[in-house]
Amino acid sequence: MNVVPASSLPLRDPDLLRQRALVGGRWIQADGDQACEVRNPATGALLATVPDMGAAETRRAIEAAQAAFPAWAARTAGERAQVLRRLFDLMMAHQDDLAVLMTAEQGKPLAEARGEVAYAASFIEWFGEEARRLYGDVIPGHAAGKRLLVLRQPVGVVAAITPWNFPSAMLARKLGPALAAGCTVVCKPALETPFSALALGVLAERAGLPPGVLNIVTGRDAAAIGIELTTHPAVRKLSFTGSTAVGRRLMAQCADGLKRVSLELGGNAPFIVFEDADLDAAVAGAIASKYRNSGQTCVCANRIFVHESVYESFALKLVDAVRALRVGDGLAGPTDQGPLISAAALAKVEAHVADALARGARLALGGARHALGGTFYQPTVLLDVTPAMRIAHEETFGPVAPLFRFRDEREAIALANDDQAGLAGYFYTRDLARAFRVAEALECGIVGVNTGLISTAVAPFGGIKQSGMGREGSKYGLDDYTQIKYLCLDVGGSA
Ligand SMILES: NC(=O)c1ccc[n+]([C@@H]2O[C@H](COP(=O)([O-])OP(=O)(O)OC[C@H]3O[C@@H](n4cnc5c(N)ncnc54)[C@H](O)[C@@H]3O)[C@@H](O)[C@H]2O)c1
Ligand SMILES: O=C[C@H](O)CS(=O)(=O)O
């Protein structure tokens, strides 16, 4: 097996590239020493391997997390906060190496990868601070001598399953609140992108996280690992980020054990350009929202609705901006767009474009595989798209901007809400009254008004309808990892 030696990646700290899983504070192989290959999606080169684990190793990871829970939960909030602060500092100190690992395994531009590392680290920082403010309540008694207290306690062992598109941030968005609350974690990263998670495991150890508090299992049989994570009685909560189909299945698997579940699922974000919009700002917002991570983003603009009176001028401006995007291998030089994660992802993008063109859409730019080959796809703009096309109701997860027309505000809202997804929505207008009307009418969990970038650790991130439940980030993000305990004390009547 011609494994690309770790030294072939420009890492200052090669130890961050781990080819072992983390269970109970030990870096281990799979029980049968079998391993999975991980390849660079930009070049197809073999990067390294990770253990091909299954139910047995996952069970041991859960047992390690269970054993570590009492001591970690008993640490003071300040002690947990200090460990999280050290982890934040280490992530930022190793930002460049973590970004190289991410671009190598996921393909995103290096600048975006650096940005994701900082974004991921901000969740660790934010929840390290929030750990100290995990307040309860004292409630005025309902009867003489009664004293009522409300405690917020950690839920216990948390199973975290994360996707490949933001391999560091999607894990940190769970690790931050879970560890801050006093929970312990068993994480299963996507097989396409395990190294970002494993590198976080290395830094967590260096930050002083005790053995067994964070466990990371890898393997090609996600279903087998998932069944263990969703049915083992010691797991009290599942936090999942990924497709709606898998989220639905995992929620069902958690039902028998009545495990707490939070789901960050698929999106189909509308991006509405009203007739009074600042078109240059709207184009900049559309580029930022649509083409970030080559369109492989849950909150990216998946449907762009433009008022008929500005449709042509917006389309011309957008095409000019998309034409300037630099496509390439993020480790070979400055780029704005990388490869898609897999051949299957490429096929879905091609199918959406073909279906739209077959049903009457016009191609304004792109529309074919990129000359770089592999899974690179040309940044694409489609015109005259209608709700009859697949691209209107399926998450494309690729660099394709489909432009729809609308006549008035009522129609725009109806078109935007005509979907089972409800994660993010965006619109551009200069009218303040309209901003509130439309923001309140959109059926989604996150709304960007005159901006295409909404993601931050300080705000609640999550969707409604088929886009999931629960929120990650913000003070609300702790709710998913804590449970309320009510104490009723009878301290006796007056002296
Ligand atoms: N809402 C959000 O915050 C958010 C963020 C990122 C991605 N996503 C969504 O994730 C999807 C893309 O990511 P993906 O392709 O990795 O999604 P996916 O659902 O295929 O995989 C997500 C994770 O689940 C694992 N998995 C797959 N089948 C499983 C099973 N049966 N049991 C246990 N684990 C299983 C995968 O190995 C991976 O780790 C898109 O739909 C995107 O919108 C949502
Ligand atoms: O893909 C979904 C991620 O949540 C993207 S973001 O970076 O959090 O916006």
pLDDT one-digit tens code per residue, 459-484: 999 999 999 999 999 999 999 999 99
Residue 2's pLDDT band (cuts 50, 70, 90)? very low
Amino acid, res. 53: M
Residue 6's pLDDT band (cuts 50, 70, 90)? low
Q: How far apart are CA 307 and CA 276, in angstroms?
A: 9
The pTM of the whole model exceeds 0.95 = yes
Taking 90 as the threshold, does the pLDDT of residue 272 lie above it? yes
Measured in Å, how far apart are the chain's first and last C-alpha atoms? 81
Taking 50 as the threshold, does the pLDDT of residue 288 lie above it? yes
Mean pLDDT, the chain, integer: 97
pLDDT of residue 4: 47
- What is the pLDDT averaged over residues 118-131? 98
From the list 38, 174, 27, 175, the residue with the least C-alpha distance to 101 is 38
Q: Which ligand is nearest to the CA of 248?
A: 1
Taking 80 as the threshold, does the pLDDT of residue 214 lie above it? yes
Taking 50 as the threshold, does the pLDDT of residue 3 lie above it? no
- Ligand 2 nearest-atom number relative to CA 454: 9
**pLDDT tens digit sequence for 226-239:** 999 999 999 999 99
Taking 50 as the threshold, does the pLDDT of residue 1 lie above it? no
Taking 80 as the threshold, does the pLDDT of residue 348 lie above it? yes
Taking 70 as the threshold, does the pLDDT of residue 5 lie above it? no
Contact 468, 247 (CB under 8 A): yes
Q: How far apart are CA 88 and CA 121, in angstroms?
A: 5
Residue 22's pLDDT band (cuts 50, 70, 90)? very high
Pocket-forming residues, ligand 1, beta carbon under 6 Å: 161-166, 170, 188-191, 222-223, 226, 241-243, 246, 249-250, 264-267, 298, 395, 423, 463, 468
Contact 454, 300 (CB under 8 A): no
Taking 70 as the threshold, does the pLDDT of residue 355 lie above it? yes
**pLDDT tens digit sequence for 148-204:** 999 999 999 999 999 999 999 999 999 999 999 999 999 999 999 999 999 999 999
pLDDT of residue 493: 75
**pLDDT tens digit sequence for 304-331:** 999 999 999 999 999 999 999 999 999 9
Please tell me the distance between residue 408's alpha carbon and the centre of ligand 2 in angstroms.
30
| Main-chain dihedrals φ then ψ at residue 291, nearest 5 degrees | -100, 0
Q: How far apart are CA 469 and CA 203, in angstroms?
A: 30
Residue 210 DSSP code = P
Q: Tell me if 299 CB under 6 Å of ligand 2.
A: yes
**pLDDT tens digit sequence for 436-453:** 999 999 999 999 999 999
Classified as helix, coil or strand, 334 is: coil
Among residues of the chain, what percentage have pLDDT more than 70?
Answer: 98
